[in-house]
Chains A and B, each alone.
Chain A
Amino acid sequence: MKDMRGIFTAFGFLLFALVYLGMTLTYPPEARLFPMIVLTVMVIMCAFQLCVELLKRPAAAESGEAEDFTGQDPVPEWRMLLYTALGVVMIWAFGLITGLCVYLLFYFSFVSRLSWRKNLLITGGTAIFYYILFVKVLKIFYRGVFGIFV
């Protein structure tokens, strides 16, 4: 079976190039000249790559071993992408340090399934380190939408 995600990735790049190329038409000639050249080349290459992906032979039938070699506790891909996005949301909602703590506590509890002691130790240690480095030393802080702490 063909790897559809490889095709979607190639298509994604092509779509990006086409959209950007369309956007350049709204800019003055001097502002759009070089981007148009680059994006036109990109469209051609992406179209070529998409054809290659579509014409690629499907992967050979599995012989009984898993095609992708995975280790212990792999996280499903869609979930990991969601967790990454969740990290962004946590920072937005709870602020820099609090968001960091909430995210780590969540991840260690529900994904890594660590004991509460290890969870608190690592989360606490990371939070203290970042509080000292960012809030106290670099004076960088963000309270988040809910502004719970810092």
Chain B
Amino acid sequence: MDAVLHGLTAILNWHTILLCFVSMFVAMIIGILPGLGGLACLSLLMPFIYTMDAPMALAFLVAVSGASDAGGYITSILVNVPGNPEGMATCWDGFPMTRRGEAQRAIGIASMSSVMGGIIGVFVLLALIPVMRPLVLAFTPSEYFALIMVGLMFIAGLVGKSVIKGLIAGAFGMALSFTGSDPVTGVARFTYGSLYLWNGIDFGVLVIGIYAFAEMINMAVEGMPIATMIDGSGKKGSQWAGQLRGIMDVVRNWKTLIQCSMLGSMIGLIPGLGAVVANVATYGYAAKMSKHPELFGKGAPEGIIASESANNARWGGSLVPTLAFGVPGSAGMAFLLGAFLVFGIVPGKDMLTTHLDLTFTMIWTYILTTVISCVAAMVFARPFARIALIPPKIIVPVVIVIGLVGAYSVGSRLPDVIVAGAMGIVGYYMMKYNYSRPVFVIGFVMGKMAERSFHLSMQMFGGYFIFRRFTLSILVLGTLLTLVPIVRAWRKEKRSAAT
């Protein structure tokens, strides 16, 4: 109970609240820009955490995460362009509703579903904390190592089109994480004699390059306008009536809301599945369970409820492996984990004991920002959507400049700007040739942790630590979970090639 109250009081000061409002506003605007979304938003705003203390920084990142989702569904509904990849399924029913003049109703449905889904996801997290505590304490470094390896394999198998490319990206991320002093011997590795690299490559700088710059390069090369039109209800005053109708749709379909939120939360528990899978899987589930499945894809309110509630509920679910095991539940959680590293917070049992108040700070912030950003989305839907109409020839250089300045602000060092620029070019080619960037980021974040767990396991149990019962079970299960879908897909391809 103390931790719950401490967590709440940590954000109830004007500094943090003002910061959350500013970050929400910026995150919503960036979330509206298709192609950027939550990850790019986090990467651009990440450098600011270096000037904050731990509770404020975590609240800031959580606020950004929550608010960018709200921005994303606005363009999904109004212009049929998902603001972020996890807004995909929202397009399928949101835009048809816009076409028939029910844009505000769709926004009302999405907003209410986001809020309720986020709250349900948090309750799932709270319910799991007491259960996770004894489980976490039973884990030795050997099991941590196995979980990290399995998480990486699993993520590589699910995100992106090719498992091998995903694993290459993950290994690449891990290799870059080895830069700097070795955690065991203190030897400087891969520094090329440069003092700058002694502390390793900064996470904030890396993600600015690999996400923000890469996306901007791609947008400029494609020259695609973000959107060519926006639509919305035309009559004055109809905005609020439409949104209220949408809210009532959610209340009427409360069973779909709860089921899809729970499913989204469960999917969030599994590292690597993330919001895209939550989005699509729950949409499919809702369509199967609906009394009128034929309406899905043509403007069914349940479609938006399923997609948006799962999107936000999976946040609570993905926080569980992140806090309890230090294995990020999604690419967005990898950013949070990066922030933990910046402040010297070690995920694991500490997050459920000593730092439980920090955990609750994040939870309270998420609830607060989800509610406020959804209300803001409803109020500012139409003007926000106009940002998506800004052509790439204006957006691209502005975002590049934001990124460059942001990269410098991390450590006030010029080499950070160079690293960000270089990673931008690398990230562009990774994106173009389907080497998964989320897996790369997760590999980078987990590389040092994996190495630490590896060395501790070697010291505690010797070289055969992977043959310990629990460790081996995790490794075998994880390998099977990764290989089975690949084998199935390969067999399916063979069969369709034969026919």
Interface residue from A48, A68, A85, A103 paired with B401 (Cβ < 8 Å): A103
Q: A5-B433, A112-B394 are in contact. Are A100 and B401 (CB under 8 A)?
A: yes
Q: How far is the CA of A119 from the CA of B221 in the complex (A)?
A: 21
A13-B168 Cα distance, complex, nearest whole Å: 8
Question: Does residue A34 face the partner (Cβ distance < 8 Å to B)?
Answer: yes
Q: A72-B223, A81-B425, A103-B397 are in contact. Are A138 and B409 (CB under 8 A)?
A: yes
- Interface: A62 (CB within 8 A): no
* Contact between chains at B412 and A39 (CB < 8 Å): no
| List of B residues within 8 angstroms of A52 by Cβ | 164
Chain B 82-99, CB-CB to A under 8 Å as 1, else 0, gives 000000000000000000
CB distance from A139 to the nearest CB of B (A): 9
Q: A45–B152 Cα gap in the complex (Å)?
A: 15
**CB-based contact B174/A38 at 8 Å:** yes
Picked from B216, B393, B405, the residue with its CB within 8 Å of the CB of A111 is B393
The interface size of chain A toward B, counting residues with CB under 8 Å, comes to 64
8 A Cβ contacts from A103-141 to B: 103-104, 107-108, 111-114, 122, 126, 130, 134, 138, 140
Give complex CA distance A71, B447 in Å: 39
In the complex the two chains form, is A84's CB within 8 Å of B217's CB? yes
Within 8 A of A (CB), among B272-310: none
- Does B220 contact A31, Cβ atoms closer than 8 Å? no
Residues of A within 8 A of B435 (CB): 9, 13
| 8 Å CB interface, A1-36 against B | 5-6, 9-10, 12-13, 16-17, 20, 23-24, 27-28, 30-31, 33-35
| B-chain residues with CB within 8 Å of residue A81 when the two chains form the complex | 217, 425, 428
If A38-B174, A112-B394 touch, whether A74 touches B408 (CB-CB below 8 Å) is no
A31 and B451 CA atoms in complex are apart in Å by: 10
**Residue of A9, A34, A122 touching B433 (CB-CB under 8 A):** A9
Q: Does B477 make an interface contact (CB < 8 A)?
A: no
Task: Tell me how far the C-beta of B157 lies from the nearest C-beta in chain A, rounded to whole angstroms.
Answer: 13
A80 partner, pick from B165, B217, B401, B450, beta carbons under 8 A: B217
Taking a contact as CB atoms closer than 8 A, the residue among B184, B405, B421 that contacts A85 in the complex is B421
Interface status of A77 (Cβ within 8 A of chain B): yes
Given known A-B contacts A9-B433, A49-B165, A74-B223, A84 and B417 have beta carbons under 8 A apart: no
CB distance from B396 to the nearest CB of A (A): 8
A96 to B421, CA, bound (A): 15
Is the beta-carbon distance between A84 and B393 smaller than 8 angstroms? no
Interface mask (A45-72 → B, CB under 8 Å = 1, otherwise 0): 1101100100000000000000011111
Interface residues of B in 162-191 (CB under 8 A from A): 162, 164-165, 167-168, 171-172, 174-175, 178, 182, 184-185, 187, 189-190
A42 within 8 A of B: yes
Cβ contact within 8 Å between B168 and A92? no
Partner of A142, one of B48, B393, B397, B414: B414
- A41 close to B (CB within 8 Å): yes
- Give the docked Cα–Cα distance between A122 and B425 (Å): 25
Q: Is the CB of B187 within 8 A of A31?
A: yes
Q: Taking CB as reference atom, which chain A residue is nearest B451?
A: A34
Say yes or no for B379: interface residue by CB 8 A criterion.
no
B400 contacts the other chain (Cβ, under 8 Å)? yes
| Nearest B-chain residue to A118, judged by Cβ | B394
Cα distance A87–B401 when bound, in Å?
7
* Residues 153-167 of B at the A interface (beta carbon under 8 Å): 162, 164-165, 167
B211 to chain A, nearest CB (A): 14
**B13 contacts the other chain (Cβ, under 8 Å)?**
no
Q: Is B2 an interface residue (CB 8 A)?
A: no
Which B residues lie within 8 Å of A91 (CB)? 404-405, 408, 414, 417
Q: Which residues of A contact B326 (CB under 8 A)?
A: none
User: Which residues from A are CB-within-8-Å of B428?
Assistant: 81
Q: Which residues does chain B contribute within 8 Å of A70, judged by CB atoms?
A: 221-224
Chain B residues within 8 Å of A99, by CB: 404
B222 near A31: Cβ-Cβ < 8 Å: no
Residue of B with least CB distance to A144: B414
Closest to B162 in A: A49
Q: How far is the CB of A114 from chain B (nearest CB, A)?
A: 7
| Interface flags, B208-250, vs A, CB<8A=1, else 0 | 0000010011001111110000000000000000000000000
Flag if B221 contacts A104 (CB, 8 Å): no
Residues of A within 8 A of B397 (CB): 83, 103-104, 107-108, 111-112
Report Cα–Cα, A9/B401, bound state, in Å: 27
For B51, list chain A residues within 8 Å (CB).
Answer: 138
Chain B residues whose CB sits within 8 angstroms of the CB of A84 once the complex forms: 213, 216-217, 400, 421, 424-425
Residues of chain A touching chain B, judged by Cβ–Cβ distance below 8 Å, are 5-6, 9-10, 12-13, 16-17, 20, 23-24, 27-28, 30-31, 33-35, 38-39, 41-42, 45-46, 48-49, 52, 68-77, 80-81, 83-85, 87-88, 91-92, 96, 99-100, 103-104, 107-108, 111-114, 122, 126, 130, 134, 138, 140, 142
Return 6 A-B CB contacts under 8 Å, by A number: A28-B187, A31-B182, A69-B224, A84-B216, A85-B425, A104-B398
Q: Which 8 A-B pairs have the closest CB atoms?
A: A74-B223, A112-B393, A42-B171, A71-B224, A107-B397, A88-B421, A31-B182, A71-B223
